[in-house]
Amino acid sequence: MNAMSGAPIPTSEAQRLMALAYYGILDTPREPQFDRIVRLAAHLLRMPVATINFVDQARQWSKASVGLNQTTADRRDSFCAWTILHDQPTVIEDARHDPRFVNNPMVTGDPHVQMYAGAPLIMPSGQRIGTLCVTDDQPHPLSPEDLQALQDLAAIVVNELELRAYQQRLNLSLDAQREHSVELQRSLEQAQALSSVHQLFDLDLEPRDTLLAVTSVLAEALEADQAGLCRTQGDEIELNVSHVRSTLPSGQQVVPSGSHEVITALGLHLTDTPLYIDDLKTYATQRGVLMGDEVTQLAVIPAGREPDSVTQLLFTRFVGHPVPTWRAADRSLLEATGRAAQQMIDHRQARAWARRDALTGVLNRRAFDADFAALTEVPFTLALLDLDGLKRLNDTQGHAQGDKLLRIFAAALAAELDRSGEVYRYGGDEFVVIADPTSDDHFLEHVDAAVLAARQLSPLVGVSVGVAQSGETDRGALLALADTRMYDSKRRRSARRP
């Protein structure tokens, strides 16, 4: 039996990653308050290993541990990635016989985990960002009192994280007041920006619109002179500007001429890791690219990879900017946003594929039910189509040939309609179309073109079509009207057929 590839991703993963970034705990040195907690957990539960783990986008990172030297593991191998799916502790009595972990390298190899118990670290926001866990390489039953102690200690970890975050922000405020009031304002703006970004990702907007809004918010917090998106699709590069500093001199163009060429020459559109440049002219010269000295700082943040395109967030500062480099706080804010953006796109793609018919690639019946119910009072044409003779084709030439016919017909009809209508596979050999208002004859021309395309593969007897206009009857009866007309068409076609 093969081990699973890893724990499912929580539905609120983008918000969870933003919460983790808020505490700024990843990759920090050991701290005594956390070391004390893991020592106490190991002692109270009589365990050889106790660890405070945080689950990042692709890894598990340990802040404190007893009995284990390893600090980082792939998320797909993480026991704790399963624990953060629930509010209650997760207990694995024998990982060697659990299908989720039987081939896990931490089970088959060092530290040979057999028994695992973990309590999630649940922050006041409700996000589970990590765990306090204990493990043993041999059987080790835990009593209800043991599990309660583990949860109590996890709550103490949360309190320490909250206190640590408060102290960090208090220290930052005090330092800012001592050093410069402007720096304090900038830090507060970044905290507000993080909250605003969090809210934007919660909205159900198109990814491009969301990211344009996000870059505009971040640009204000980072005091960037310009900000926007770079979207690469094949050999095409599209630049969209979302923010221009209001005091930018009129002579400085929003998108300077040659920007596309510079991006291509430097390969900025291909970077899949965050890139921070503090001296762009020198950076370009070292790579044999000539450019002006107007822009001095550039940040490029990967923000989403789709099947046919890649998107990056771009931020620039001009020569003489009062902030001479990209600071650690800037980078933390930008990278947390980039990770959340990719999660947003991944979840959106998953939702989009759930609306697609696996065989033909057009929309499925679930999508039709949702779209039909959501239609407004704007006039539209509804058509129901049935491919005649598909059963006979499947019986004589095989289902593989019938499947090809369905795919070609669906693709050809969708191409014919283009943006004027949507094609849905309603079931078996039936399709339904919601289109802009059109006459029966005009719609049948689209169907005839799709039939001709399908006949290039194999003989298609024809397509029975029933067309109804939205104004003919109420919404509930419209589909039945199209269905009646489709079967009338089928009967007429059958009567004419020899």
If you average pLDDT over residues 457-478, what whole number do you get?
84
CA-CA distance, 93 to 139, in Å (whole number)? 7
What average pLDDT does the structure give for the chain? 86
Measured from the Cβ of residue 426, the count of other Cβ atoms closer than 10 Å reads 21
pLDDT one-digit tens code per residue, 57-109: 999 999 999 999 888 999 999 999 999 999 999 999 999 999 999 999 999 99
Q: Is the pLDDT of residue 176 over 60?
A: no
Peptide bond into 10 cis (omega under 30): no
- What is the three-class DSSP state of 243? strand
Q: Residue 498 — very low, low, confident or very high, per pLDDT cuts 50/70/90?
A: low
DSSP character at residue 88: S
For residue 2, the model assigns a pLDDT of 42
What Å distances lie between residue 323 and 183, 243, 297, 316, 326, CA to CA? 10, 18, 10, 12, 8
pTM listed for this prediction: 0.45
What is the residue whose two structure tokens read 């399908």? Answer: 454
Q: What does DSSP assign to residue 229?
A: E
The tokens of 153 are what?
């200690």
- The residue-averaged pLDDT of 199-225 equals 83
In order, the DSSP letters of 3-27 are PPS-PPPPTTHHHHHHHHHHHT-TT
For residues 355-366, average pLDDT? 87
For residues 162 and 168, give the distance between their C-alpha atoms in angstroms, rounded to a whole number: 10
Look at residue 112 in the predicted model and tell me its pLDDT: 93
Residue 179 token pair = 């050093």
SS3 of residue 389 by DSSP: coil
Q: Hey, what amino acid is at 415?
A: A
Distance from C-alpha of 14 to C-alpha of 11, rounded to nearest angstrom: 8
431 band by pLDDT with thresholds 50, 70 and 90: very high
Question: Going from the N-terminus, what domains does the chain have, and what CATH number goes with each?
Answer: 13-167 (3.30.450.40), 197-354 (3.30.450.40), 365-496 (3.30.70.270)
- Say what percent of the chain tops pLDDT 90: 41
* pLDDT band per the 50, 70, 90 thresholds, residue 184: low
CB 190 within 8 A of CB 331: no
